[in-house]
Every structure is written in structure tokens, then in C-alpha cells.
Amino acid sequence: MNTIEQDIPLKSIELKSDYVEVAGATLLTLLEGVASHAGTDKSLPTLNAVHIESEGGLFKAKATDRYRLIEGSLQSLDGRLEPSLIPLYDIKRVIALCKDHKANLVQFSRIGDTITVSSLGDAITFTVSGGTYPPTEELLAKSEGEPSAIDSIAFNPTFMADYAKIAGKGAAIKVYFTGAGKPMRVRITGDAIKWRALLMPMRYVD
């Protein structure tokens, strides 16, 4: 199977304070969807993680396991957050907190390389990861061109099924082919979250 390469470093972590607030229910949907695309190999900590940031009223989260890439963005209610790479283990802790506070606001506060996520007195704290992260914006931008006509393509059906879970019952998923051996662009519909996703085709021999 083809992979999405990684070769662009994360922005350096600065010793400063960041703060942002996000609606709990929407954040839960975003993080559950993005976490499904994070790598599961703990020996690759940069991929076994979710990248989050917030600027200009948008909270973004993205993840890749090299075979697929997803980014989701939603409206944040306050503040900003420097680009932060969060281990998948800690993202799952944030997801659990969001499940308990779907009707509330969830706050992210970062000081240096430490982030605290809290809501109505419940809080968890963890350390931001360092490392090198894939050139996701470049990859997504390259896929935005005109679709290409191709005879056939092979893909992992389990991966495709994850998009159906993210979209939810009755929602549409549209796939754009960008060329033989190139990533498929996947469009997932959503009211509160804007999704962008890529899926690498499988190498298939008849």
C-alpha cells in the first residue's frame, strides 16, 4: 500500500500561554473522527497522535497513519492555541471528558509544553509531543485540482467504512480520483465540522 510521507517539522514550542473554548458535543465528534486516522504503532509517536491548533475562531484537528489523512475544523468560541501534537492516549482521555460534558464548553489551556483540558471542574493535563509531522496542508492542497478519469482503483474497505461512521447515518460521502496511484480526495458532509480527507489507493495485482 502506498503511504503519505512525513518530512516537515512541527513549529517550535514556545513558552507562552494559550487558551481556547470549544463546544463539548462538536469537539467530541471532531476528535472521535480524527482519532480514527491516527497511527496505532506506539514506536512511531508522531503518527500515534493528533495535531490540534486554533486561530481566528477556528479549532482544527488532524491525524494521519501514512495511508490516510483527515482534517476537521469547527468554530471556537474564544482564544487561540498554538499547534500542538497530542499523543493518541491523551486524545482518548480528552474524548472521555467530552463524553461527560457534551452539553458544556471545554477549555484548552497551554503553558509551555503542557496542556490542561477542563470543563465544569473536571480536568486532565498532559505534555505536548515533539517531532516531525507530515506536510498535510501541502498534500491537501495538491488534491484540490480537477478530478481525473481512471479505469479502476483499489482501496481498503475498512478505511472507507470509517468515513461512513464519521459522516453519520444518512449523510453522503463523495470520492474524487486525482490520478492513478495518487490519493483519493474524500468529501464528508457535516453541518458544524468541515472535513478534508485523503485515502491512498492500495497496490493491487489481478
pLDDT at position 131: 78
Q: What single DSSP character describes residue 51? A: E
The model's pTM is 0.84
Residues 193 and 70: beta-carbon distance below 8 Å: no
Instruction: Give all strands (DSSP E) within 36-104, no chain letters.
Output: 49-55, 58-64, 68-75, 78-87
pLDDT at position 84: 95
pLDDT at position 109: 96
How far is Cα 29 from Cα 98, in angstroms, rounded to an integer?
9
Q: What single DSSP character describes residue 104? A: S
Pairing of strands 78-87, 49-55: antiparallel
- What is the set of domains in the chain, with CATH numbers? 8-131 (3.10.150.10), 136-199 (no CATH)
pLDDT at position 11: 45
Query: Among candidates 149, 143, 142, 157, which has minimal Cα distance to 180?
Result: 149
Burial 11-26 (b: 16+ CB within 10 A, else e): eebeeeebebbbbbbb
Per-residue confidence of the chain (206 residues) as pLDDT tens digits? 555 544 444 444 344 469 999 999 999 999 999 999 999 999 999 999 999 999 999 999 999 998 899 999 999 987 899 999 999 999 999 999 999 999 999 999 999 999 999 999 999 999 999 877 777 777 777 777 667 777 677 777 788 888 888 887 767 788 888 777 788 888 888 788 999 999 887 775 56
Cell of 155: 482501496
- Determine the straight-line distance between the first and last CA of the chain, rounded to whole angstroms: 15
pLDDT at position 146: 67
